[in-house]
Structure 1
Amino acid sequence: MIRAKDKTYQGRCHCGFLTFSVVANIDHARVCNCSICSKRGTMNFRVPNDALTLNTPLDGLTLYQWGSKTAKDYFCPNCGILGFRRPSLPTKEEQERGIQPFEAGQ
């Protein structure tokens, strides 16, 4: 669902193989405390399925999973840049607070 304050952002990896766009009102960023994000010092912003448009098919990217294998990191197979992540499902506590599962666009 596109809202009046939403803006379209274009993203790509270093070499340009992985390209995507996101429609969102990015008014904050969150810090993930997983081992990978902690080491990279990344901040992120979650968007719903219909806000992400991938111009590079998922099967053209390199998938990395670790631990419980519930989150999925997609990397460019050429330059190695992490383009985006499909986060893990919300915990029981998050679901009780009304947080819905994230479903990235295919």
Structure 2
Amino acid sequence: MAPTATREKTVMVSVLIVNDQSLQRLALRVLLSAESDLTVVGEAASGADAVVLCASLHPDVVLMTGRPSARSRIEAIRRIARSSVLPRALAPGAEGESPARILS
């Protein structure tokens, strides 16, 4: 008996990259774009830009990496979390930043 062909539904996950270094943003875009179920919908160089782009692009994931000022990153995460367009995941990439502390 021959196996039957099945269609698997691929769920696309949209990602907003936030990093203060353009070369690092490019590298992340290349790595993430290689995955068939991820699509990079935008890039931001600062926390303030991330808040604006998150409101307009509605990404599933906001990936914050690099070394923008901790205050800027924390404030951006708080503003995104309080917005009506909350992504499914916020991924702060700095050491020592507890999500509970950031969102409090």
TM-score interval, normalised by the smaller of the two chains: under 0.3
Give the alignment's TM-score, normalised by structure 1: 0.24
User: Which of the two has higher C-alpha Rg?
Assistant: 2
Q: Which has the higher contact order (CA 8 A, sep 6+)?
A: 2
Q: Which has the higher strand share?
A: 1
More helix by share: 2
